[in-house]
Every structure is written in C-alpha cells, then in structure tokens.
Amino acid sequence: MTLTLWWTIGMSVTAFVLTVGGTWAFRAMAIRQGAVANPNRRSLHSRPTPSGGGAVFALVFLTMMGGYWLIVPHEFQSPLTLLAGGAAAALAGFVDDRFELSQPVKLLVYALLAAWILACNGGRPLIDLPLTPRLVDIGLSWFGLLWIMNLYNFIDGVDGMAASGGVFISAAMAIALQLAGARTLIPTACVLSAVCLGFLVFNWPPASIFMGDAGSLFLGYIFAALIGSTIIEGQLSPWTWMIIFGYFAGDTTTTTVLRMISIPRFYEGHRSHAYQNRARLFGHFPVVRGVALYNVSWLLPLALWSVLQPAFAPLGALLALGPVVAWTWRFGPRLSSA
C-alpha cells in the first residue's frame, strides 16, 4: 500500500475513535449542564435530548486535517477554505444552538460563507453557462453554494438522517474521485466520513444526542466547499454531485417549491418534509433506513456511472432526482401544514 493510503486509513480510524470518545464526553457534560433540546411543535421527539454534539466531530475533523495538511500541504488547493471556513461555520452553528440567532443573521452567515468558498477558489464560478456574463455565473454559483448549506440544515430533522447522509456523501465522493483519477481529496473525504460515522454511533435512532446547527451548518459548509473545489478543478462534474445529493436535494428543493406555492410564510420553520411526515407515522428508524438504502442501492451506482460515462451524466441526474420529487410531491407538504 502507498504511504497516502496508510495515512488515510490511520487518520480515518483515529478520527472515528476520537469522535466516539468526544461525543460520549460531550453528551455527559451536556446532560449535567442542562444543554438539551426540548420537544416543541416542530420537533419529532418526545423527550429532552442533548444537542450541539456536532461541535465534536467538527473539531476532530478540523484538527486531523489541519495536522495532515501541515505535513502534506500540496494535498489541497487551499486549506483555508475548509479550515477557516469550517471553523467559522461550526462556531456560528454552536452559537445558534445556544442563543437561537435570527433568520436574517443566519442567512447573512450562509451568504458570507458561500462568498468565502468562491473567494478561496479565485472567484471562479462553478458553472460557465453559454451567453451569460461571468458575473451571472458567479452569482448563480454563490446561490448554489448557499442552497447546499441551507439544504443540509433542512434535513437534520430525524434521528440519524444528517449523520448517515454525511457518511454516504463523503464515501461516495471518495469512490467517485478514485474512479476519476483525482485522488488528492480522498483522505479528506474518508476522514469526514469517519467522523460522521463516529457521531452516528450516538445519533442512530433512537438518538441519545443531536448534532444541532454546530454539526448541520458545518457539514453543509464542508460539502459546499468540496463541491466548489472539485467542480472548479474539473475533478467531478455538477451532474455527479447532483446525483450524490439526490435524495436531500430533491426532497428539500421540492418541499420548498411546494411551500412557496401554497403557504404565504413558506420560509418559517416547519416539519412538512416527506421524510418527517413518514417518520411521524412509522418512526425514525424505517425512514432513515429507507433513505440509506436508496442512497447506496440507487444513487451510488448512478453517481459512478456518471463518472465512467460522462455523456450520460444528465440522464443519471434525472434518474436520481425523479423518484425523490415524486415521493416528496406525494408525501411532503401536501399532507402537512405544520
């Protein structure tokens, strides 16, 4: 095995162990200090549960990767994209968990983080549409990154959904990069998958701790940064990323559009996603298991197909998103006004 592979395995195992230990300690501390999320009209939980545990895997990931990039600095184009931006995202999320930032303030944080990603990549857009000025392409790229961060916050409403999604997305990215012959970010993807898996030990239904915005905003930002870097550098296509994010992107986007059409104050907090409606009826575990099976058995093969056969990547994206859009149309906001 190559030295990089040994590094990747060692860092991933270490990150998993540190996350498990750190989450266990954080949970105990949160219980002692009363730092818990209480049930409310938006939640799908019946008992107070420690929250904010995402700060643990954020710290582990940033520490591990910061040390790695000091040793192997050429492995990432701009470590500041993930280190500085990731730290800012985790801190902003942790503050929101504790003090509940207003929606305008949170939107400003997302906007600045999306702008930071573009700035760290030399201001280059993720897309280059024909017949459009460069400024328009940059604006659309900024909005896309902003939406990815919001998207990940939206799907953190059921035990294990965001954490298991983080495991899948990171692992799928690593495999896709290997197939594409672009291996520099594979260690990053593997460590990210490892910390999500470590947190999932405690977050799997029934969860004994929640990641909170400290985790969901951090993951949303890190994935947005990785998407931006790999697309701009030509390592993975937007179509491949659309497939990897197929369930989450399809659910949240369709839900938002349906609410915009039917609900005047569509932007307010709610629990009308299809996965939330099904979780109320059947419990958290069947829903998370179903989404995980969809990701692994359907989205992963489509994502790899899009890498191996780029000409068919748009068709792969359609096949990835189509079932989710139909599912959300059937079981999403039309069945719930909450």
Q: Convert the pLDDT of each residue in 37-46 to its tens digit.
A: 665 555 555 5
pLDDT of amino acid 317:
98
Rounded to the nearest 10 degrees, what angle do helices 212-232 and 54-71 cross at? 40
Give 50's strand partners: 36
Question: Exposure of 183 by Cβ count < 10 A (0-12 exposed, 13-18 middle, 19+ buried)?
Answer: middle
Question: What pLDDT, on the 0 to 100 scale, is given for residue 6?
Answer: 86
**Are the C-beta atoms of residues 187 and 67 closer than 8 Å to each other?**
no
What's residue 58's pLDDT? 98
Cβ pair 145, 228 in contact under 8 A: yes
What's residue 258's pLDDT? 86
| Cβ 335 vs Cβ 262: under 8 Å | no
Element containing residue 50 per DSSP (H, E): strand 49-50
Cα dist from 163 to 46, 222, 299, whole Å: 20, 13, 17
Q: Which pair of tokens denotes residue 110?
A: 């997302």
Place of tokens 């949170």: 106
Q: How far apart are CA 66 and CA 136, in angstroms?
A: 34
Please give the pLDDT value at position 304.
Answer: 98
Instruction: Give the three-class secondary structure for 165.
Output: helix
| β-bridge partners, 90 | none
Encoded amino acid at 67, one letter: G
Token pair belonging to 178: 């290997």
User: Among residues 286, 274, 250, 256, which one has the least CA distance to residue 335?
Assistant: 274
Cα–Cα dist 164/295, whole Å: 10
Model pLDDT, residue 37 = 64
Please name the amino acid found at residue 10: G
Query: At 309, is the secondary structure helix, strand, or coil?
Result: coil
pLDDT of the chain, 338 residues: tens digit per residue: 577 788 899 999 999 999 999 999 999 998 888 767 665 555 555 567 888 899 999 999 999 999 988 887 655 556 789 999 999 999 999 999 888 888 889 999 999 999 999 999 999 999 888 888 999 999 999 999 999 999 888 887 789 999 999 999 999 999 999 999 998 899 999 999 999 999 999 999 999 999 999 999 999 999 999 999 999 999 999 999 999 999 999 999 998 888 888 776 666 666 778 888 888 888 889 999 999 999 999 999 999 999 999 999 999 999 999 999 999 999 877 766 55
Residue with tokens 């201001």: 123
What is the pLDDT at residue 49? 83
CA distances to 15, 25, 83, 223 from 22, in Å: 10, 5, 20, 22
DSSP characters over 54-89: HHHHHHHHHHHHHHHHHHSGGGSS-HHHHHHHHHHH
CB 303 within 8 A of CB 290: no
Using DSSP's 3-state secondary structure scheme, residue 49 falls into strand
Within 8 A by CB and 6+ apart from 221, the residues are 85, 86, 89, 113, 117, 149
What's the pLDDT at 265?
65
Which pLDDT does position 71 carry in this prediction?
Answer: 82
